[in-house]
Amino acid sequence: MITGVGLASPNGNNLAEYREALLNGRSGVTDIETRYMGKVHAGVCNFDDQKYQKKKEIRRGTRAGSIAIYSSHEAIADAGIDLDKVGRDRVGVYLGITEHGNVETENEIYKISQFGYDTKYWTHHHNPRTVANAPAGEVTLNLGITGPHLTLGAACAAGNIGLITGSQMLRLGDCDLALAGGVSESIHTFGIFASFKAQNALAHHDDPTKACRPFAKDRNGIVVAEGGCVYTLERLDDAKARGAKIYGEVVGYGQNSDATDFVLPHPARQAECIRLALKRAGMEPSEIDIVSTHGTGTHLGDEQECQAIREVFDGSGGTYINNTKSFIGHAMGAAGALELAGNLPSFQDGLIHPTINLNEIDPECRLNNLVIDKPLKKGEINSILNNSFGMLGINSVVIIKRFVS
In a domain, 128, yes or no: yes
- Are 144 and 56 within one domain? yes
Torsion sign over Cα 325, 218, 370, 207: positive
- Domain end, chosen from 220, 241, 262, is at 241
CA dist list (Å): 153 to 95, 99, 161:
9, 7, 9
In a domain, 51, yes or no: yes
In this prediction, residue 114 carries a pLDDT of 97
Print burial letters for 30-51: b (CB count within 10 Å at least 16), e (below 16): bebebeeeeebbbbbbebebee
CA dist list (Å): 212 to 31, 157, 259:
13, 19, 28
In this prediction, residue 34 carries a pLDDT of 97
In a domain, 337, yes or no: yes
In a domain, 246, yes or no: no
Strands 376-377, 38-43: pairing kind:
unpaired
In this prediction, residue 152 carries a pLDDT of 98
User: Dmax of the chain from CA atoms?
Assistant: 66
Active-site residue, selected from the candidate residues 100, 188, 330, 353: 330
156 is catalytic: yes
- Are 31 and 162 within one domain? yes
Degrees, nearest 5: CA angle 99-399-161: 20
| C-beta separation of 202 from 225 below 8 A | no
Q: pLDDT class for 87, splitting at 50, 70, 90?
A: very high
Packing angle, helices 158-172 and 335-343, rounded to 10: 80
> For residue 321, how many C-alpha atoms fall within 13 Å in the half-sphere facing its CB?
23
Element (H, E) at 267: helix 267-281
**Which pTM value belongs to this model?**
0.97
Which one-letter amino acid corresponds to residue 35?
A: R
Q: Could you give the CA distance from residue 184 to residue 330 in angstroms, rounded to a whole number?
A: 10
Packing angle, helices 102-113 and 190-198, rounded to 10: 100
Question: Cα-flanking dihedrals φ and ψ of residue 184, to 5°?
Answer: -150, 135
In a domain, 247, yes or no: no
In a domain, 16, yes or no: yes
Q: pLDDT class for 6, splitting at 50, 70, 90?
A: very high
User: Tens digits of per-residue pLDDT, 321-344?
Assistant: 999 999 999 999 999 999 999 999
Contacts of 186 (CB under 8 A, 6+ apart): 98, 99, 192, 224, 225, 226, 331, 332, 333
CATH number at residue 381: 3.40.47.10
Q: pLDDT class for 405, splitting at 50, 70, 90?
A: confident
In this prediction, residue 366 carries a pLDDT of 96
- Are 100 and 210 within one domain? yes
In this prediction, residue 71 carries a pLDDT of 98
Element (H, E) at 140: helix 136-143
- Are 294 and 155 within one domain? no
* pLDDT for 183 beyond 90: yes
41 is catalytic: no
In this prediction, residue 213 carries a pLDDT of 98
Average pLDDT value for residue range 50-69? 97
- Are 158 and 307 within one domain? no
| Plot region of 373 (φ>0 → left; ψ -120 to 50 → alpha; else → beta) | left
Active-site residue, selected from the candidate residues 45, 156, 212, 273: 156
Which one-letter amino acid corresponds to residue 341?
A: A
- Are 236 and 365 within one domain? no
Element (H, E) at 30: strand 29-34
- Domain end, chosen from 207, 241, 275, is at 241
In a domain, 211, yes or no: yes
Average pLDDT value for residue range 60-74? 98
Number of independent structural domains in the chain: 2
Q: Could you give the CA distance from residue 271 to residue 138 in angstroms, rounded to a whole number?
A: 36
Contacts of 330 (CB under 8 A, 6+ apart): 43, 156, 212, 222, 223, 224, 225, 296, 297
Nearest to 329 by CA among 229, 228, 223: 223
Neighbours of 56 (CB within 10 A): 8
- Domain end, chosen from 218, 241, 264, is at 241
- Are 148 and 262 within one domain? no
Mean model confidence pLDDT for the chain: 97
Element (H, E) at 349: helix 346-349
- Are 165 and 303 within one domain? no
Cis peptide before 265 (omega within 30 of 0): no
Element (H, E) at 194: helix 190-198
* pLDDT for 85 beyond 90: yes
| C-beta separation of 258 from 393 below 8 A | yes
- Are 229 and 296 within one domain? no
Nearest to 11 by CA among 322, 331, 344: 331
Active-site residue, selected from the candidate residues 41, 294, 353, 365: 294
- Are 33 and 174 within one domain? yes
Q: Sheet with 91-97: list strands edge to edge.
A: 2-8, 227-233, 177-184, 91-97, 149-153
- Are 294 and 182 within one domain? no
In a domain, 83, yes or no: yes
Average pLDDT value for residue range 257-278? 97
- Are 228 and 332 within one domain? no
Range of the domain at 352: 252-401
